[in-house]
Amino acid sequence: MTTQVILLNGGSSSGKSGIVRCLQTLLPDPWLAFGIDSLVDALPAKLRGADGGIEFATDGGVRVGADFRTLEAAWMAGVAATARAGARVVVDDVFLGGAASQRRWWKALDGLEVLWVGVRCAASVAAEREIARGDRDQGMAASQADVVHEGVEYDLEVDTPHQESLACARIIATRLG
C-alpha cells in the first residue's frame, strides 16, 4: 500500500520543519504539510497560558489541558480526513506525552498507511538552534529533546545534528520507494 501520511516527531528546534519543506520539494507528488505550531497559532488567545489550554513555562516546559486536548483531537481527525480524501500529508508534531501522544495519532490515523519518523537532535544542539531562532522560550528544546521519543515506535529515525534537512528528507523519500 502507498504511504498516505508521513508523521515526523521531534522536540522543538530539532529540524522537523526544514525536513518537511525539503520533502515537499523532493517528492514527485504534492504533499500537504500540517504542523503542531499551526494548531497552537490557531488557538484563541484565552487558551494560551490558561488552565485547560496550553501553557509555556519560563523553564521551557509545556503543559496542556483538557480544552487543548479536545481541539487537538479535532485537528488530528481533520488531518486524517484530509489523507482519507486522497491528499498525501506530512505532519510535524512534538509528542510531549511520548507514547501516549503516538496512541492518539494511531487512533486518528486508523486505516491509513503511515510512515512514523523520529527526528533526533541532541539537547545541546537543539538549545543552540533555539537561541539562534529567537522565537521560542529558552529551555524548551533541551527539555523536549529526549522525552518526546520515550516509548514511541518508529519506522525510521533521522539525526539532524549529523545530517542536514535535505539529507534527512532524502532518507525519508528513499524509504517511501
Q: Cell 534527512, residue?
A: 168
The cell for 174 is 528513499
Q: How far apart, in Å, are the Cα atoms of 138 and each of 110, 119, 145, 147?
A: 36, 20, 13, 17
Burial 19-53 (b: 16+ CB within 10 A, else e): bbbbbeeebeeebebbbbeebbeebeeebeeeeeb
The cell for 64 is 496542556
Q: Residue length, the chain? A: 177
Give catalytic residues, as residue numbers.
37
